[in-house]
Amino acid sequence: MKHVLSDFDLSSEELGEVLSLSAEIKGSPEKYLHALEGKTLIMLFELPSLRTRISFEAGMSGLGGHAIFYGVSEGGFSRSETLGDGVAVLSRYSSCIMARVLSQEAMEKMGESATVPVINGMTELYHPCQNMADLLTIQEKKGGLAGLNIAYVGDGGCNTAASTIIGCTSMGMNVTIVCPDDPQYSPSPELLEKVKANKGSVKVDHNSSTGVRDADVIYTDVWVSAGMEEEKQKRMTMFPPYQVNTELVKKAKPDCIVMHCLPAHRGLELTSEVMDSPQSVVMDQAENRMHAQKGLLYWLLKE
């Protein structure tokens, strides 16, 4: 029984296995139509989702299994029972739990109480399933991962940036976090220390022009997420120099691909001209959420 509570729960070998399985299942979906027959995934959400919710449900049904959605705001854990008790009960009804919860602390507690695998569907610190889809996409577009340069442009302190740093360096990629010179929007020193042993490298550059130089991949994400309304003004002042526009993309390698985990705010973190350009792979990336999660579910639940 294995949990994926953060990107650190998968070794580079295990992540490689999940990516290989994802590619195999994507290439021959008909072979896996009954692979998880009789298995049930419970999906818990404390925050809204389009891609994570639907791609997990579609992925589970594509493997012959079943998925149940439960919005935590419907009452469950906010009533009198503890998170641990609730998760222990849900383990009796299911083969696996995927959760998008507000805190990594809650995610870790779920892992302690669950008797089935728990998958992190995003917390404030990590978004591992997004990174698996990102790696699958890069692998498809570039024919490999090790040695490639990825520039993550924007909020270097967010969950997607953290998962990019961990997953991409684990697979031997070189990550440049291109972000404002402010600790709040930069990766934490603890995170940078923890990935030092990984095969790839990570560095921080506050200048967008030098930060994307030699990039094979430019990645960006939303500047102001739900719940950040109080610092919206500060963010809208700090991030415009980091917009991914045609001028910035021209500074990377000529065959650089552009990625965004979506939802995108066209005209803010990236322009429509870039998002709709031949270099953009964002829709393939979004599709790969489902394929990568099928690979992960099969890897966790196969008998």
127 counts as catalytic: yes
- Interface positions, 129-148, toward ligand CP (CB under 6 A): 130
Say how many Å lie between the first and final Cα of the chain, rounded.
11
Question: Quick check: helix, strand or coil at residue 187?
Answer: coil
List the catalytic residue out of 261, 285, 291, 293: 261
Q: Which is nearer to ligand CP, 95 or 120 (CB)?
A: 120
266 counts as catalytic: no
Question: Quick check: helix, strand or coil at residue 202?
Answer: strand
- Interface positions, 106-125, toward ligand CP (CB under 6 A): 122
Residues ≥6 apart with Cβ < 8 Å to 148: 138, 142, 173, 174, 216, 217
List the catalytic residue out of 3, 51, 53, 127: 127
How far is 200 from 198, CA to CA, in rounded Å? 6
213 counts as catalytic: no
Token output for 209? 């022009």
Name the minimum Å distance from CB 137 to ligand CP.
13
96 counts as catalytic: no
Q: Which is nearer to ligand CP, 56 or 77 (CB)?
A: 56
Question: CB of 4 within 8 A of CB of 117?
Answer: yes
Name the minimum Å distance from CB 81 to ligand CP.
27
By CB under 6 A, which span of 11-19, 46-54, 77-85, 268-276 interacts with ligand CP?
Answer: 46-54
How far is 60 from 42, CA to CA, in rounded Å? 10
276 counts as catalytic: no
Position among 10, 25, 43, 52 found at the interface with ligand CP (CB under 6 A): 52
Beta-carbon neighbour count of residue 13 at 10 Å? 8
By CB under 6 A, which span of 12-20, 49-57, 70-78, 81-89 interacts with ligand CP?
Answer: 49-57
225 touches ligand CP by CB under 6 A: no
Sheet holding 149-153, edge to edge: 201-205, 174-178, 149-153, 217-220, 257-260
Site of interaction with ligand CP (CB under 6 A):
49-52, 122, 130, 261-262
